[in-house]
Structure formats: structure tokens, C-alpha cells
Structure 1
Amino acid sequence: MIKAIKGFNDILPNQSAQWLQLEKVLAEVMSRYGYQHIRLPIVEQTDLFARAIGGATDIVEKEMYSFADKSDPPTPLTLRPEGTAGAVRAVIEHNLLRGDTPKLWYIGPMFRYERPQKGRYRQFHQLGVESFGSALPDADAELIAMTHLMWQALGLKDEMSLQLNSLGEIDERHAYRDALVAYLTDKQHLLDEDSKRRLTTNPLRILDSKEASTQALLVDAPKLADFLGEESMAHFEQVQAYLDGLGIDYQINPHLVRGLDYYNKTVFEWVTDKLGSQATVCAGGRYDGLVGQLKSTDSRNHDSQANSKPIQSEPAVGFAMGLERLLLLIEAVAPFAETAACDVFIVTHPEVYSSGMIYAQNLRYQRPDLRIKMASATSLKAQMKKADKSGARLTVIIAQQELDEQKISIKNMQTGEQTSMNQNWLADIENFK
């Protein structure tokens, strides 16, 4: 028997109703902020992610699903591991930066090869939001405020904590990175294995280590905040002032760096302790250099060059939200109300099944608010069994007698009461809600 690939999960009908409810709430909140939906390919050229995310990141080094297509010569392609790079590529390719600055959102599967665990799979789903064109801190604060409203709409406001940090600009990060490497070099024998590797590839990620021994070493390490210039500090302080004005609580986390190279200035994470160990549900930040970086023909990672300067670019800020983890949190603290698969189940005697189909179709035209289901033309007993299992509020029964009398028999599936009504009763919106 062929089974699903490990880490690639089916979302079954009894689960998909919760996904649809979640997506509806999120889409409504984003619409209230004027964000527009964009649909992006799940496959992009591999170089897009290597340039955008950074060649020294775990994603590019270890986690991408990459392959060569059948063109001649073959083109290296990758299943998208995250959405921002593809969104920026689409904005550049279609000249969306001309005119009004785009505010976009997308939703769908991402792919990373890593050890599957609860709420974290090899095919996982994210909501991504990207806001282009504003270098001002109000754009950062708006995105955070929007996520805050999402938590309220989902009943999760008291379950989420906001963490903030500023990564400053490239030259500030380079100066800090040099100081951090100098501090850790003679202590590297005390670092965990991942941090030893990152010391020469991506030392800022050491700050994000989950190893207690490594975190103990970092207590006396140089602090990134001490390397930020006046402009970066002013930007970060204004973001905090906006959040204070909006009544949104937060904590400054000096070890928050994010795992992708394109971030600068504000970074943030929404975390919860309701999923076992502290888990990140939503994370993002500002990435002012990425548009210019992907426009450039120079494929080098600009943040890895010690003497490089930022490429002229369009400012941008965004976030990504893991939907599997979010659904686990909702299930734990604020479950969605269960919804039946249909409202009305129509049972028809096999000899007059055609008339039942016509009735059901007419009712669907007249009452688009109702979910109406029929079984195949089996026996009445078999159809009634399916009606019982459907969760429908009402079952409509149609046989020859009902057709002759121009009536329908209606059974209340909660009380078991059955009555005869005029055929137009269900179509009358005043009589059935």
C-alpha cells in the first residue's frame, strides 16, 4: 500500500472545516487593513532563495527540496521553503511598485526537509503578509497591530506574547558580528555543535541557540543594541511608542535575530507557552534591502560582504504565521464551534429520485445560504442512515405521496419530530433560518 510521505500530511474533511474557519477570520482582518490577496507559485528558481535567504542559513544549507527540471540545460528549481522571496520576485517582475505601494497577503504550503514534530512538518502551511514602500516605523507597528487584532478575533489575545528586537543596519550588524566572534572564539569549545558551525558561517544565529550552556556563555557577550546607530535606535523607539499608544504589550528580546539574512531593523515574534515549550506562532520584521538585492545581477549575499553597502532598494516589512501551530493553539484554548457537513439532507424514494434531484437543485438556487446534501438512489432505509450520520438539522423526505400532495415531509433530526409542510416552506427565508 502506498502511503503519504513522512511529514506530508492529509487534511481530512473533519479537519478542513477548522482550516476554512481560520482562513476566513484571517482574511477578514487583513481586508479591514486594506491588504490584497496574491497567489504565488510553489516552485521557484533555486537561486532566488539562495540570494534572498542567505547561503549560510539552515534553510539553504540543509532544508530545501531542490531538483533540476527537464530543460536543456536543466534549471535548478526548489519547492518554496518560505514565501517572502517569491512575493518580492512577483512584485519586481510585474512592476507592482509603480503607483500605489502594494500591501499583499498569501496563504499556502511551504516545504522544508527537517525532522517532523507536532505542529511542524515537511509540508506546512503559512499565512504571509508583505507591506512595501514605507521605510517609516508606522508600517512595522501596523503589521504588529494587525496580528494583535487577529489574536483577538480568534480568542487568543491572552495566550500570545510579543517579543521585539532591532537588528539595525548592515554595517551595524557587521560591527557587532565581529565583536561577537571575537568574544566567542576562545570559548568555542564550550559551544554546542550547531553554534560552533555558525561561528564561521552565521554567528548571529548563535544568539538564537536553544542550548542552555550556549545561552550561559552569551550572558556576558557584547549586546547588539550597543552597536546600533542613532537612526536605528530612533526607528525602534518609535515602533515601541506606537505599540504603547495602541496598548499592545511587548518584551525586548536582545537574542531575537530571526533565521533569514534579509532582515534589518525591527524583528518580532509572537510566542505562546500553551504548546509545551515556548513556541513561535508568528514572526517577521523589516527587510529594506531585499527588493534591491533581487533586482541586482550580483548574486552574492550582500549581508555576507564585510565592506558592502546596501543596494538602492524599496523598503518593506512582513511576517509569516504557521497555520498548523496556530490551529493546535486554537484547539487547546479556544476551539472553533463544530459545524455539520450540511443543513438539510434530502431523502428520496428511488422511484421518484429524479423529482428529488430537481427539488434539491431548485432549493439550492433559492437558498444559497443552505448546505444541501443527497445520498445516492439506494433504499429509503439506507438513505436515512446517511442522513442520521450527516449532522443535518433537517431531513426532507420525498416519496410519491408527497409529490401527489405537493408536500414535503420534514424530520427534525434533533427531536425526531416529523411533519408535513408545503413544498415551498424551505425556500421561504422567513420560515427557515
Structure 2
Amino acid sequence: MRPMISSRIRIGLASAWMMSAGLVMALGPVQVTAQANASRPILIERVVAVVNSEVIVETELQRRIAQARQAIARSGQQPPPPRVLREQVLDRMINDLALLQRAAMTGVVVDEPTLDRAVARIADQNGLSVTGLRDQLEKEGVAFARFRQDIREEIMLTRLREREVDNRLRISDAEVDAFLAAQGQSLARVDEIKLAQILIPLPEKADAKAIEKAQQLAAQVYNKAKAGEDFAALVTAHSAANTTNAGSLGWRSPDRLPSLFVNAVARLAPGQVAEPVRSANGFHILKLEDRRSALQSQLVDVFKARHILIRVDAQTSEQVALRRLDEVKRRMSLGERFETLAKEISQDPGSAPRGGELDWAYPGDLVPEFERAALRLSPGQVSDPVRSVFGYHLIQMIDRKREPLTEDRLKLVARMALRDRKLAEAVDEWTREVRANSYVEIKRDAD
């Protein structure tokens, strides 16, 4: 069973201590008779509720009420009447205590490194170091140990909820489709093709000889491509068009391509090369890279990046992590490659073997701090150290683009929205069930 904090006194232990000291626990306040004047009881602590084998005391209730008042004031709302607020806060405390007892009984624990990372994230979100957060809390009269315990309990409740509620929620495909329809989201699709090209140019006023020469070169390049030579190498060697991305034009719908191109690849299978076609700019050798059917949805920013992660934990302070990343940037200034350093230094086991490279990231895929910093970068640019819940990152942008959400992505967004809606109802029902299975006594005469 987890250790109890001072505001939650185990009844068995408390009763034994009070009996040995000659004290009596009344149904309302706990009182002790002073030696100097036996006729005047001195109030030690007030018990406001009993939850199974633990109690909630008045000082802890008042602390939570004060927190609630501060939160309400920050939101700009009017607080409810004092008695109503007291009842609401006490009700929440009873529920939380019953759930924490269940978490302890079912083996939910939060280790110190996890707690340290959570506290570090809160500090970072407030623009503070952990030491600065401690100082700020103490200025506000909040003990740092009490604050850490509150965060530990929040994590325990989240883990318990994930295990007993979240993982049991089921969202059907029919519910997703109905949700999208209700939101006015269309699942209408549009065909898209991905082309790569090699352009053999023609002068502005080309004569017959120049046209013939360009046509012959185009035929030679086409034959090489058709025979299986590397198309990207042919692009580099011969194309007068943009040679980045191996001549790829990216995903486009037919109405965003010249009809000449669309007609040339109409009967091709992905991977095949079309015979050269002529435009005013020259001869084009087109390769059909792929076809797909995409949703007609809004465009979103997506990006591909590399990163180097230095974790902040009991062994590595924030200052040490920052010094290590400063050293990384120094070595890069001397010519070392980001991906080589990522393999050597990064503490992200998933990306380090790949030189820190991450998959294409859509909005919401990565933690907000990382995503915001990455989207400020241009391809090839490296960020300053970025703090997240995982530690400090250096981020290098590889590429970025705008593209429509895929059907899978759109359905995932809908499924998550439905899950959030159902989750609130399921959590309320689960909380009522846990409380109903607990012994709860509220000391009404303590008001």
C-alpha cells in the first residue's frame, strides 16, 4: 500500500496512536485535552470525510478550495457560493481518493524519473527551470514536495483511467462515417498522379536542326530509362527542369497538370516511362511514379525532420544537456554531418539508428513544443535546443510540404473526437461505480 501524506491519516494507525496518547476521536473534530486546562479542548484536526480506511481532513480541503478559487479567478468566471464550492471540491476529493486507493490496490505506480519528467515539462511550459518552478511555488506558499505529490497522483489517476476506461472504448466505422457527415466533411475523392520528368530543352526560336538534335537526345534518354537505368541519374545528367527530388513533380490532380502530361501517362502503370512528348519548352520524358485516390480536403502542413535528443533525468541536468547540444553544434560547424552525430549521441532509440530521421509528421503527431519549433525551420536549417517532456532536442528540417489529409487521417481525427466525447461519459460512469463500491462517510457536522 502506498505511503500516506500528512493530510490523509490511516484510521487504524491514527486510532492506535491516539489511544496510546489518551486521546479520543469524536465524530466531528479530533480534539485533545490540554494539560494546563482540562476544561478547554484544543482543536488538533478536523475530519471532514472517511473513504474506506482513510480520511480527508479540513486543512487539505481548505487547500483544495483555495486552489479552486485561484483557477476560477484566472478563468475570469464568478465562483459559486462558498458552501456550494466546498461541496463540489469535497466531492472531487472523495472521488479522487477512492480512485487512488483502487490504483494502489491494482499496482499502479509512478517512478521518480517519470515524475521528474512531468515536473520538468510543467516548468518548461511556464518558461521556468525546475529550480525556478520550485522557487515560484514556495513564494506562493506551495510546498514543492506537496506539488510533486499532486502531480504523482494525477499521473496515477491518468494511468488507472487509461487501463480501466480508455482501452475499453470502441468506436465503430459507422459512427465515424456518421460523425463526418454531421460535421459536413466530404469523403468525396479525387484521383491524383505522381510524375517525374526529364526536360530536353529547345531554344526559343529553334530551327529544324536544333529540334532534330533535341528529339534524338530525348529518344536516347527515353530508351535508357525504359531499359531500367536509374531515372534520378538521368534527371541529373540531362534535365533542364528542376532536378531536386529526382525530377518529381509531387502528387497532383489531373487539373493541376498540363493535359499533354496527363494524356501521355494515361495508359501507364506505376513505374513505367512514357515516350517523349513535345511542348513549347522542349521534349519531356515522363515517368509515372504512382497513382492514388485522395480526399478533397483542406491542405495541411506536413514535414520530415531529424533530431538529436538528450534526456534530462536524475543523471543529466538541464545544464549538462544544453552543454552537450552546444558541443553538437560546434562539431557541425566544423563539418560533421547532423545524421552522423545523431547516430552517435541521440538518446532516442527509435530514430538514432536512422541518423535521427523521423517519419513525415502531420499536425498533432508530435509534442507541441517540437512541432512549433520544427515549423519555424526551412529545409536544411537546424534549431536551437528545444525543451520537451522528453528532454532537449536539436531539430534539422529535411523537407516540408502542404498536402490534403488522407482518408485514414481524416477518419482518425473523427475517431479521436468521438473517443473524447464518449470518454467523458465513460469516465463519469466509472467514477460513480468506484465510489459506489467504496465506504464513504461525510462528516456533515464539520461544516
TM-score (normalised: structure 1): 0.22
Higher radius of gyration, 1 or 2: 2
The higher-RCO structure (CA 8 Å, 6+ apart) is 2
User: Which one has a larger percent helix, Structure 1 or Structure 2?
Assistant: 2
TM-score (normalised: structure 2): 0.21
